[in-house]
Amino acid sequence: MRIRAQIAMVMNLDKCIGCHTCSVTCKNVWTNRAGAEYMWFNDVETKPGIGYPKSWEDNDHWKGGWRLSRTGRLKLRAGGRIRKLLTLFANPDLPTIDEYYEPWTYDYLTLTNAPRSRHQPVARPYSQLSGRPMEITWGPNWEDDLAGSTETAARDPNWRDVEEGVRLEYERAFMVYLPRICEHCLNPSCVASCPSGAMYKREEDGIVLVDQDQCRGWRMCVSGCPYKKVYFNHVTGKAEKCTFCYPRIEDGQPTICAETCVGRIRYIGLVLYDADRVREAASVRDPKDLLRAQRSLFLDPEDATVREQARRDGVPDDWIEAARRSPVHALAIRYEVALPLHPEYRTLPMVWYVPPLSPVLHAVGDDDGADPDDVFAAVENMRIPVRYLSNMLAAGDDDVIRAVLRRLAAMRVHMRGVEFGDGADPAVAPSVGMTAEEMEEMYRLLAIARYEDRYVIPPAHREVAARLEGHDGGCPVGQHGYPHSESTPAPAPSVSAHFMLGTQLGHQLPPVRRTAEGFAGGLPLTVVRSTGEVQ
C-alpha cells in the first residue's frame, strides 16, 4: 500500500441553478486569451442534450478513455502506442472546432461609428478564427434550458434503454444541469495518451496538468480524454486544460468556479487513496463494479493505521487532519450520496456528483392510503428517469441511483419531522441504512453548507512552496509571456503581456488572433517519476 492524497470535488446537482457563473469566472481567469476563445475549462450543460463538444459522451465514436481487452488488460480505447504514432499526422478521433463551436465576437465599433441612417446600426458577428463575418449556428450553450433540444437531445447517449414513452415526453418532463470541469482522474487516459510525456499527475495533490514547455502539439490527449476536457490551443499549438486552479489550491483557497458558485453546490476536500491499487480498480470486469472498486481505493482517515501509513508515505500531518474533515470523503464515501460521472470510462474520475431529486411525475398520493413520505415509491416516479441518471452516474446500475435518491428523500422526510413535526420518525433513517445523527450531519453539509465546511483545503507547505519558487524562478504565468519566434510580430511585450489575466493584445476588429500568450498549465518541475506498467 502506498497512500497518496488527492484533491477532489463534489457537486450537488440538486442545488445547481444553471446560472453559468462558474463558467464565466473560470473563463475570465483562465481562457480569456488568443487561441483559447473556444475553451471552457468549466461549462454547464443542460441534460438531456449532446453537450460540449457535441456528443462528447459518445465514446463509441470518439474513443476516449479505457477499455478492457479480452484478456482483461486495461487498454486505451483509441488503440495502442504504435497506432498512436502511426496516426500522429492525422488523429482519426480528434473533434474539430466545429464540434465545440466557432468562437466569435461582434463588430461593436459600428454601433458608435456608423453614419447617420434611417435604421439602427447592427453589430455583426465575426469569426475569431478567420476574422470574417459569420452566421452563428452553434455555440457553447446552444442547448441551455433545453433550447433547441428538440433537434439535438435525442442524440444524447444517456438515453440508451430509457423507455421510449419517457424519451418522447422529456421536454415536458425534465431537465438537469451538469456543470463539468476536468475530472483529475486517478487513472487519466489523457496522460497515458500523451506521446511527449508532457502531461502528468501531481504526486502531492493529484492535479493533472500539461507541461506547456514539453507539449509538442500531437493532440492525442484531446481525443484520449473521454470527457473532452483537454483542449488544443490553435495559436500556441499546445494542449490546455482545467488546472483545478492549482495556484489557489496551493494557497488553501477553493477553485474559482467553486468560490463563485452562487448555489454553493461545490465541495472541495482531500481523499486518501491507495496508489498501488489504481490499475487493479480500473480493471474490474463489470463496469457496474467500477464504483465499488473506486470507493475501495479510498482509505478512512479515521483509521489510525491509515494515518500512520499516510505519514510514512509523506503526507503531511495537517493534510491528514484535513482529510478527516473532508466534505468529499463525507459525501462520496461516508454517506455514499456522491457518484462519479461515467465510471464506465475507467479513468476513475475525481469530480463526483450528488444526483438531483426531481418532482414526482404522477402524484403518488392519488391512491388511497399512499404515504407522501414514502420515499421508496417517490424515487420510482420522479421526473428524471432513474435510468437516465444511472447511465450518466452509475454505468447503468439503477440500484445505485435509487439508493442515493432514497437517502436524499429520506433526509428531507427526517428533517421535516425534526423541524416542523413532532420529531423525526425514528424509522426513516434506518430504512436507508443511516443513523439519525448521520442524517442530520449530512443535512448540515448539504443544506447549510458553510464556507469552511464546503472547502477544506490545506495549503501547500511553505518549505515546499519555497522550493517551488527556487525551481520556477518566480511567477508561473510570467515566463511564457513572449510570443514565440514563429508568430508574426506582436506588440512589444509590455509588463501586462506577461500575465494571462492582463490585457488581451490585439483586440481590434476584424479580430486579430496571432498573438501567442502564455499559459501556466504546468510548472516546469524537475523530478519526473513514473509508475505503472509498460504496455
Partner 1 sequence: MSGGDLVLWVLLPYVSLTVFVMGHIWRYRHDQFGWTSRSTQLLEDRLLRWGNPLFHYGAFAAIGGHVLGILIPASLVQSIGISETAYHVISVSAGTVAWVAVIAGLLILAYRRVMVPRVRVTTTRVDVVTFGVLFVVIALGIWETFGINLLQGGYDYRATVAVWFRGIFTFQPHTSLMMSAPLIFQLHAVTAWFLFALWPFSRLVHAWSIPLTFLGRAQILYRSSVPTSGSRRAP
Which listed range, 81-89, 142-150, 153-161, 436-444, lies at the site for partner 1 (CB under 8 A)? 81-89
Please provide the distance, in angstroms rounded to a whole number, between the alpha carbons at the two ends of the chain. Answer: 22
CB of 166 to partner 1, least distance (A): 36
Give the integer Cα–Cα distance in Å for 439 and 366.
29
Whole-angstrom CA distances from 2 to 31, 297, 306, 437, 475 are 36, 11, 10, 33, 32
The site map against partner 1 for 294-333 (x = CB under 8 A) is -------------------xxxx--x--------------
Give the integer Cα–Cα distance in Å for 379 and 411.
13
Whether 207 and 7 have beta carbons less than 8 Å apart is answered as yes
Residues composing the chain: 535
Give the integer Cα–Cα distance in Å for 237 and 168.
43
CB of 108 to partner 1, least distance (A): 20
The DSSP code sequence of 416-468 is HHHHTSSS--TTHHHHTT--HHHHHHHHIIIII--HHHHB--PPPPHHHHHHH
Q: Which of residues 115-134 bind partner 1 (CB under 8 A)?
A: 127, 129-132
Strands 43-47 and 3-12: unpaired
Nearer to partner 1, 68 or 235 (CB): 235
Nearer to partner 1, 363 or 464 (CB): 464
Q: Which of residues 493-512 bind partner 1 (CB under 8 A)?
A: none
203 binding partner 1? (CB under 8 A): yes
Q: Which of residues 5-24 bind partner 1 (CB under 8 A)?
A: none
CB of 306 to partner 1, least distance (A): 17
84 binding partner 1? (CB under 8 A): yes
468 binding partner 1? (CB under 8 A): yes
Give the integer Cα–Cα distance in Å for 220 and 190.
7
79 binding partner 1? (CB under 8 A): no
Upper half-sphere CA count for residue 235 (Cβ side, 13 Å): 24
CB of 490 to partner 1, least distance (A): 11
Whether 203 and 529 have beta carbons less than 8 Å apart is answered as yes
**Which of 367, 422, 452, 463 lies at the binding interface for partner 1 (CB under 8 A)?**
463
CB of 469 to partner 1, least distance (A): 11
**Which of 61, 122, 171, 217 lies at the binding interface for partner 1 (CB under 8 A)?**
217
Chain centroid to CA 74: how far?
23
The site map against partner 1 for 387-426 (x = CB under 8 A) is ----------------------------------------
Give the integer Cα–Cα distance in Å for 455 and 450.
9
Q: Which of residues 140-199 bind partner 1 (CB under 8 A)?
A: 187-188, 191-192, 194-197, 199
- Count of residues in contact with partner 1, rule CB under 8 A: 81
Nearer to partner 1, 85 or 501 (CB): 85
Which listed range, 141-149, 297-305, 354-362, 457-465, lies at the site for partner 1 (CB under 8 A)? 457-465
Beta strands in 98-162 (DSSP E): 104-106, 125-127
Nearer to partner 1, 12 or 189 (CB): 189
**Nearest in space to 224 (alpha carbons), one of 347, 340, 82:** 347
Rg of the chain (C-alpha set): 24
Nine-digit cell string for 378: 417517490
**Which of 72, 90, 423, 508 lies at the binding interface for partner 1 (CB under 8 A)?**
90
Nine-digit cell string for 50: 449532446
Whole-angstrom CA distances from 469 to 316, 425, 448, 463, 464 are 20, 57, 38, 10, 9
215 binding partner 1? (CB under 8 A): yes
135 binding partner 1? (CB under 8 A): no
473 binding partner 1? (CB under 8 A): no
CB of 164 to partner 1, least distance (A): 35
Nearer to partner 1, 120 or 137 (CB): 137
Helix (H, G, I), strand (E, B) or coil at 321: helix
Nine-digit cell string for 359: 418532482
61 binding partner 1? (CB under 8 A): no
Output the 3-class SS for 106-162.
Answer: ECCHHHHHCCCCCCCCCCCEEECCCCCECCCCCCCCCCHHHCCHHHHHHHCHHHCCC
Nearer to partner 1, 12 or 347 (CB): 347
CB of 41 to partner 1, least distance (A): 17
Which listed range, 150-158, 298-306, 467-475, 494-502, lies at the site for partner 1 (CB under 8 A)? 467-475
Give the integer Cα–Cα distance in Å for 287 and 293.
10
CB of 474 to partner 1, least distance (A): 15
77 binding partner 1? (CB under 8 A): no
Q: Which of residues 474-493 bind partner 1 (CB under 8 A)?
A: 480, 484-488
Nearer to partner 1, 94 or 377 (CB): 94
Count of Cβ atoms closer than 10 Å to residue 94 Cβ:
14
238 binding partner 1? (CB under 8 A): yes
Nearer to partner 1, 279 or 292 (CB): 279
Give the integer Cα–Cα distance in Å for 429 and 406.
10
Count of Cβ atoms closer than 10 Å to residue 58 Cβ:
16
